[in-house]
Structure 1
Amino acid sequence: MSRTKHDNLLSLFELGLLPLFLLSLVYILSGKLGLMLALPPGYASPIFPPAGIALAAAFLAGRRTWPFIFVGSLLLNLWIGYQDQGNIGTTGALVATIIALASLLQAILGSAMLRKIISLPTSLDNSREVAGFLLLAPVFCLTSASLSVGGLFLLGLVDARELISNWVAWWIGDTLGAVVLFPLTMIFTAAPFTLWRSRIKTVALPISAVFVFFVAIFIKTSQWEYGDSLSEFKQYSQQSLMQFQSKLETQEALLAQTAALFARDGDDAVSRNEFARFADRSLSRYPMIQALSYAPRITGERRQAFITKQQFELAQFTITERNDQGKLQAAGFRDFYYPVTFIEPLSGNQEALGFDLASNPLRLTAIVSAKQTGALVASAPLQLVQEKQGQKGVLLFMAINPQDPYSGVVTSVLRMGEFMTQLLPEVSPHLYMRLTDAEEQSTLYDNFGPEQPRPLFSRTLDFGGRSYRLETAPTPLYNQMHRSWQSWGVLAISVLSTGLLSALLLLSTGYTARIEAQVADRTRKLRDSEFRWKFALEGAGDGVWDWDVSNGKVFFSRRWKEMLGYDKEEIRDSVDEWKNRLHPDDKKATLAALQANLDGKTPIYTIEHRLRCRDGSWKWILDRGMVVSRDHNGRPLRVIGTQTDITERKLHEQLVQRLAHYDALTGLPNRSLFDDRFRQHLTSAKRDKQMLALMFIDLDRFKPVNDDLGHHWGDELLKQAATRMQACVREADTVSRIGGDEFIVLLPSIKTLDDAFRVAEKIRLALSEPFMLDNHRICISSSIGLALYPDDGLDELQLLKNADTAMYAAKAAGRDTIQHYRNDMQLMGLKQALEPGGKDNLEL
């Protein structure tokens, strides 16, 4: 056996190590592309190309490919794990190994099952093999989905609530990858090479283009679903923002009440007990308050007297501040102080009692601003004196008497973590939240978690002289509750359709290859034969021609001439004779197809065209041929072919086409053809912002014609009525009979309502003229309902309904009239008025 012949029986994977290393590389790259479409948490892809690539490799070369499939899968999953986590730990390596083993086992089982129904080398060109592959693919793809998702579940990487959805997604992804990529991989790697490579243009390119198109539809549908799933999230976020702002305004109201207490009675007139009772009532109404306090302004000269007075009630009271290490200590001497004198609740806030608010620049700035503006002022984010848990806080300040520079301030203390947690308990399972002081770029609250998803909602609000930014993102629970499978349904249907198309193309190209091989074998046997009539007999009744390209002479068989109406008369044995008989509309395409065969671009010349017969008529011919010999430069020397009379088939096709789209009685377009034109014209009208008119026409007093003269004359009347209506419209308009004596007229691209009325009036007048039926003078009329796009409807259904409504209104108005649809027309009321008997009663 020669090396060339031997190679044609081996797959690409069996010819050396390089293709096997390429197998691992292609596995990794195609897998990465597939996983870019994966659902969170990133394991299950809607299509996984390596499933088909690995299957084809194991099917073609068996055990030689197993290590490379395993390595490709292992490296792919290690890569994905490293990207997700930033490192490869023990768990990541274990996950990669489990998935690689599952993928290898699936390829081994799948290839073993396929080899029972498909023998090697294969052309995969018969229905049994193709159907067997399509039916087995979903079965052996259960392997990786079950083992991989099961392993991830046992490792705690897949939640029990997402187990089924991930398993289904994994199974679908592998199945679609196998259905699409298995035949594409075979095209580039399988033997016999000549046949499989010939399918690159006829199978691989069309399937790849269609598949990419459907994946694009999947991505677009997924984006639409994702946007739709976020509608409730946006409502939650907006609700949270409003509640946050409302609670902040509550703080302002409380501080205003507290300031009023001291302004009314004077700074020194309110006792500690009175403040405690006031604060207790207020805090019970406002549970979101962490602490409410009062701080008078104390000068340096009054410091000791003030401390002594407070120690009568609280023996340990003193004015404090924090040192550089953050520890509380006695405050140093200053010109003035704002010590926290009253604070409620006292429990948990003891360290804040006596703390000098003016000792901290941030607090002092807020106090000065509150006294200058007379409004509530919020401090920058700061560490609270009484805070033990590390959460940041905000102090809200309000001056008791802004006009008095010596008056004190009241404050509200907010621990922002507790404030946010208590604020939105009902939405917290659905939302991640982050609250940031926009000026300081300091985060006050953040529960986004370690995965740190991208915020999808961000709003800024102003309060207390500062700006705050609230950001939210949906939690995994929200995404799970709002997950949609519509895009997956689209992808499954689309890619399965692609798989079926692939199967059809494989079958058709395989059949073509067999026919080409048979023709080539036959022409080789006849190349030097002089027994042309034997070839004509083998043509099974077809005409035969034999063209000597070098001199332009063509031998035409007896049957070839008979097809064109010739018996004894001869036809010139010249290729020009044939060219001159070609129909003008078919000549260009026919000669181009013949030249492509002469140039070696196509193996067989095949085309349908018309030839002029002896009597001047035209016959449809199926012309086939091929070059059977060439010179040493590759120029064609001899071409042999056959021609088959397909006129009857063409006429039958035309008849079937006409019966499918035209009314058998009147010859008008039927409802199917009308609907198609209606959709096209309505799409054009929407795109070009043009008007379109639709008319429902019903013949008045038609029923008596059928009853008195019989259905034969009724049919004749319908034919004449159809002819008159067609004479009233433009070539671009459509008149259609939809049943009985009912017609529809479509007027695209009209300018005004008057244009439509003019055409309707022409039709009404034409139908009111007497009809002559076998010396019977028949007079009828018509009721016409008119509806316009876009005024009376935006789609086919609404326009048809409204035109029908207007037609019934015309009936009710006395017949022989035209009615334009109005909103006050009640079709159902009109129909009920006509019952029993319906419209026929009005005819009588």
Structure 2
Amino acid sequence: MQPLCSTNVSISANDERFDGLLRLIGRHFALTAVLVTGTGSARRILASSALGELQRAQIVEAEDASETLHPGPGQQTSPPGSSPQLIAHYPLASQGRRLGALYLLDSRPRELDAGQRQALQDFATLALDLLTREADDAQQRHEIAALRESERRMALAIAGSGTGIWDRNVATGEIHYSSGWKALLGYAEHEIGNRIEESYTRVHPADLDYVRATIQAHLDQRTAAYEVEHRLRCRDGQYKWVCSRGKVVERDKQGRPLRMIGTTTDITAMRRLSEQVQQSVALMTDLTNEIPGMVFQYRRQAGGASAFTYVSAGAQAVCGLSAMQLMEDAQALANIVHPDDRQAFIDSFARSAEDLLPWHLEFRVQVPGREITWCQGEARPRREENGSVTWYGFLTDVTERKQIEAELQAFATTDFLTQLANRRHFMRQLEAELARLQRNPEQSAAILMFDLDYFKTINDRWGHNVGDQALRHFAGILRSQLRKTDTAGRLGGEEFAVVLSEANLDKAMHFATRIQQELARAAIQHAGESIYLAVSVGISLLDAGDASVEAALSRSDIALYCAKRGGRNRIEHH
């Protein structure tokens, strides 16, 4: 007998023990050939030297076809055209796992007796043991190779990540560093000792207590792991920021730490970037907080929910709410908007979100315990990928500006002495009333012109100060009789005019009569003397067909002239 091996036999398949077992089986049964196959492994054939090459090839063919043969000891199967003949087949399986099969082949057909079948079972048990060992060895070799490949990948990853490894014997105070750890700080292999005391000398003095306390907390099992960012001195004397992480991997029965393993990673670049970001954030925060106004970022979700995602400290001065209050509840701002402006405030954001046009609005806020504040808001919207809209904007207190504007408006439209509308503003209001009538011809309005009687005599007898007092006195009476829709103005000197909206001739006559009655009842007091005023009045109706307000005003002026000529303190209409 001599071994005949196929080309897919592994090195371990030619183990002398296996070959010896095959020779023993061949001699015991006086066989031409013994065949053992392994699933996913090698096939082994031991054949008689008397067989020619053709017969050896046929043995291999028989083995390839053996899966179709009946796998029972003592069974004979003779595949057509094959030689030698298969006289016995025994499956080799362990714990439900098929490892291979044992085949007995001979040049002549024959049948095994009971003793030979028992022997075949014993030999199969030995073959199964060898196959099991080989399978286990192969699995172990595979796992070792995979582990080495994993270690290689890990080493490459660590080498490229700026990370070093350290291993500390807590009991002896020894600490060993990887080459990468030493290179991290610019040291050669022999330039760093293995004592923990020496390692602490490289820690920045400002970080040393913190590092020691963090390590001790983990050694005392107060933390699950050790992790700290600190500075380490390099070989050139410069300091690097590192992140050290570690964990105790061995403790004695009393829980005392024995061994601790960890890593050190260079985070200098990351730390610098973080510091730059923090500086930028601090600068932006300082800028927005120092600006006299409220800088904000406001976001409205597609579903309608909204929130302030950033508010500067100026919110307190502008609207009486802290930045935290607004970020916790965006509705808080809408709640303090003046009721007359609140709907416009809400609608303005809705329009801006829909059209993505800049938000601009002036509105009033009413905070309990404070005067009404005028605010001006400016913001630009941006549509986000999730459908929400974010505004980046600014809110500022414009109360002083609005007051100045109101004063300028009053200065431009009001007569300084009487605080009634000046001639220009009155004419503008009169034109607006005519435009209203032209849009609604069925409505009406009246124009009344007043001229204080004997005003020159008052100036000549009591002086211009009393004359000014008389003008103010008359203006006060006019104001007291006006409705919100009416307008009174001083046209010049002692001449005044009133436009009564939604008034006919009768209403205008009643109004003029009340003015005369009030003048007759309320005198001016000067130097213990009562001075009574009288006034002449001319009335005309404003007509939608008037080409201009001057035409209607001219009719009132004519009626006033008639009242003067008729004896003064009279009311005439055109």
TM-score by length of 1: 0.31
Q: Which is strand-richer, 1 or 2?
A: 2
Structure with greater Cα Rg: 2
TM-score by length of 2: 0.44
Q: Which is helix-richer, 1 or 2?
A: 1
Structure number with higher relative contact order (C-alpha < 8 Å, ≥ 6 residues apart):
1
